[in-house]
Amino acid sequence: MTALQQAARWIGQARRMIFLGGAGVSTLSGIPDFRSAGGISEDFETILSHAYFMEHPAEFYSFYRRSMVHPEAKPNLVHRTLAQWERAGLLQAVITQNIDGLHQAAGSRRVLELHGSVLRNHCMNCGRAYGVEQVMKGGNPPRCACGGIVKPDVVLYGEPLDPDTWQAAEEAVAEADLMLVAGTSLRVYPAAGLLQRLRRGRLVLINREPTAMDRLCDGVIHGELQDAFAYLAQAVEGADHGGERNET
């Protein structure tokens, strides 16, 4: 049995599966990741830091508008398969490091956005909420009617994660009987540390290239997500789900 066949079998048997994904999930939607060859080449860890935003908001927004916001992007097979698994009662939650909102666009309902979302923004002075369209047009940096600078609700390097989202992610991982991880280099913490919070579940990783966490996994598939999910979507659909699960 191949690792992919084994993964399909485990997904079919799982009762509390969760998914943890990263930028590789959205490369198929035309959004570059950070660390692949051909990914974002600028010094993103500096530009996307809290300190840089506070000191150079216009330079931050020049990069951010060009590289981080992709209003034309549509969900791909991976997003759609995960949404389908949630509807079928197979998947408990998507935990994502992505900030593009594509899981929700595909129909996923329980999405824990560890690093926030480009779709939500707020004035740092009065707290007024702004949509992504308002942030993409207008002056640089975008300003609120009150004169304050509008900041994306995205967790910048050097900023803490939202504690409620983090706690919900930790709990979902602790309760999981299968954790499927895909499209992430697992180099960003604390997100990558979630793999070590798994108590008794199986751990399966799908990624184009090896990661430092491969050795922790029960199953590792090195390859393209589109190939793996094309197989899994079909194989899991055909699997015997046991008839006990609550369909939603």
Which residues carry out catalysis?
Answer: 115
Residue placing its CB nearer to ligand CNA in the complex, 53 or 144: 53
d(CA 117, CA 98): 8
Q: Is beta strand 129-130 parallel, antiparallel or unpaired with respect to 116-123?
A: antiparallel
The nearest distance, CB 129 to ligand CNA, in angstroms, is 20
d(CA 9, CA 11): 5
The burial class, CB within 10 Å (0-12 / 13-18 / 19+), for 20 is buried
For the chain, the distance separating the N- and C-terminal CA atoms, rounded to the nearest angstrom, is 31
What DSSP string runs through 206-236?
EESS--TTGGG-SEEEES-HHHHHHHHHHHH
Residue placing its CB nearer to ligand CNA in the complex, 144 or 155: 155
Q: Cα 120 to chain center, whole Å?
A: 16
Q: Cα 200 to chain center, whole Å?
A: 23
Q: Dihedral through CA 18, CA 212, CA 22, CA 183, nearest 10?
A: -90
Q: Note the residues at the interface with ligand CNA (CB under 6 A).
A: 22-24, 26-28, 31, 33-36, 39, 97-100, 115, 183-185, 187-188, 207-209, 224-225
User: Phi, psi (5° rounding) for residue 132?
Assistant: -70, -30
Element (H, E) at 54: helix 50-55
> Is the previous residue joined to 141 through a cis bond, with omega within 30 degrees of 0?
yes
Residue placing its CB nearer to ligand CNA in the complex, 12 or 75: 75
The nearest distance, CB 145 to ligand CNA, in angstroms, is 29
d(CA 166, CA 176): 15
Chain position carrying tokens 């910048």: 156
